[in-house]
């Protein structure tokens, strides 16, 4: 299949491009006008059993991957991106500040580009008769959680940030276009995403792992429901390939609760350091239900993927 990916140059985007290319699909990815496409994709983010496929994909990546300039809110770029593709994976975001949760710019501009820009992209997909549209949403739509019901896809969306509100707004567009039959659109809703970033210093837990490997004393308290970027990419591919109906649907995407306490102890064991670790393991207050995605055959990396990631941080840090 031909896959169009927005935000393809970002942390998750690089994993999306890699996942689809490794599995034999042709990828057309956006990169920001004036920027250069990444020189290297995270081929080593896959498990041992995928290394041969990863090497093969890297060898012929020039034939599998096409980079085109574009950004959310650009009508012409949206038309060019989706023309002739089978699936659109929308992971792009206009940032209003130094990170994706910050909105230091004009909130009206932030909402205009991200929500109306997404609608513009959806409409372009409809005009070009794209087969499927996968929107990468976020667990930030659930920053308030009801105590009397499971945290599944039917739970009310109660964001506390403009970022979460934007994601919830586009999810509503996905419902409207998917359930009306205009476009086979769905939402994939990952929680906190981890993995080895480029540069490695920007990776989640990098500072903690480096301190542990150096034998420093650390204090740990935090944690979050987390999922590896490679698992999010695999879930997006599964939604693109499945024979099941996904139109209008939302799919929670999280592996498990990962505390800084666990990361620190894994890092100490793998590095062989004598670092002193103070603090306790943070526990999840609410369990996110992921059975809907698992029924499509999705399996998450679990503790093994966390260990591989920490090992990579130690080796590269």
3-state SS, 172-216, equals: HHHHHHHHHCCCCEEEEEECEEECCCCCHHHCCCHHHHHHHHCCC
Residue spans of beta strands (DSSP E) within the chain: 2-6, 26-31, 65-69, 87-90, 132-136, 185-190, 192-194, 218-220, 223-228, 250-253, 256-259, 277-279
Q: What is the edge-to-edge ordering of all strands in the sheet holding 87-90?
A: 65-69, 26-31, 2-6, 87-90, 132-136, 185-190, 250-253
Question: Using an 8 Å Cβ cutoff, are 208 and 158 in contact?
Answer: no
Q: What stretch of H or E contains 230?
A: helix 229-241
pTM: 0.93
Cα(45)–Cα(49) distance, integer angstroms = 11
In angstroms, what CA-CA distances link 148 with 155, 256, 283?
A: 10, 21, 19
Q: How many CB atoms lie within 10 A of CB 233?
A: 32
Question: Using an 8 Å Cβ cutoff, are 165 and 159 in contact?
Answer: yes
Q: Which residue in the block uniquely carries the two structure tokens 């393991």?
A: 281
Helix (H, G, I), strand (E, B) or coil at 151: strand
pLDDT, one tens digit for every residue, the chain (317 residues) = 999 999 998 899 999 999 999 899 999 999 887 777 766 666 655 544 455 555 655 665 657 899 999 999 999 999 999 999 999 999 999 876 666 666 666 889 999 999 999 999 999 999 999 999 999 999 999 989 998 899 999 999 999 999 999 999 999 999 999 999 999 999 999 999 999 998 899 999 999 999 999 999 999 999 999 999 999 999 999 999 999 999 999 999 999 999 999 999 999 999 999 999 999 999 888 899 999 999 999 999 999 999 999 999 999 87
Report pLDDT for 308: 95
Q: What is the edge-to-edge ordering of all strands in the sheet holding 256-259?
A: 192-194, 223-228, 256-259
**Torsion from C-alpha of 138, 135, 302, 277, nearest 10 degrees:** -30
Cα(299)–Cα(291) distance, integer angstroms = 10
Structure-block tokens of residue 144: 């308030």
Cα(289)–Cα(292) distance, integer angstroms = 8
Question: Using an 8 Å Cβ cutoff, are 265 and 50 in contact?
Answer: no
Report pLDDT for 49: 41
Report pLDDT for 48: 42
Question: Using an 8 Å Cβ cutoff, are 236 and 188 in contact?
Answer: yes
């Amino acid at each position: 299949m031909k896959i169009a990916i927005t935000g393809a140059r970002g942390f998750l985007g690089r994993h999306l491009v890699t996942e689809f290319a490794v599995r034999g699909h042709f990828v057309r990815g956006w990169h920001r006008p004036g920027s250069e496409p990444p020189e290297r994709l995270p081929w080593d983010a896959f498990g041992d059993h995928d290394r041969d496929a990863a090497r093969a994909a890297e060898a012929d990546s020039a034939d599998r991957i096409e980079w085109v300039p574009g950004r959310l809110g650009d009508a012409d770029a949206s038309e060019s991106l989706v023309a002739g593709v089978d699936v659109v994976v929308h992971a792009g975001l206009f940032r209003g500040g130094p990170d994706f949760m910050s909105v230091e710019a004009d909130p009206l501009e932030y909402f205009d580009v991200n929500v109306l820009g997404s609608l513009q992209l959806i409409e372009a997909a409809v005009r070009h008769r794209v087969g499927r549209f996968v929107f990468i949403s976020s667990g930030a739509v659930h920053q308030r959680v009801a105590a009397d019901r499971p945290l599944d896809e039917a739970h009310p969306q109660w964001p506390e940030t403009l970022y979460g509100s934007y994601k919830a707004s586009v999810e509503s567009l996905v419902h409207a276009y998917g359930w009306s039959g205009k476009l086979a659109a769905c939402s994939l809703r990952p929680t906190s995403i981890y993995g080895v970033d480029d540069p490695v210093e920007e990776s989640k837990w990098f500072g903690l792992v480096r301190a542990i490997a150096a034998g420093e004393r650390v204090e740990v308290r935090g944690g979050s429901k987390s999922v590896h970027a490679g698992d999010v990419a695999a879930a997006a591919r599964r939604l693109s390939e499945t024979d099941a109906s996904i139109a209008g649907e939302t799919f929670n995407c999280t592996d498990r609760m990962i505390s800084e306490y666990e990361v620190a102890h894994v890092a100490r064991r793998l590095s062989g350091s004598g670092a002193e670790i103070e603090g306790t393991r943070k526990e999840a207050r609410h369990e996110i239900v992921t059975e809907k995605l698992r029924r499509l055959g999705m399996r998450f990396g679990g503790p093994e993927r966390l260990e591989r990631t920490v090992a990579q941080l130690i080796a590269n840090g």
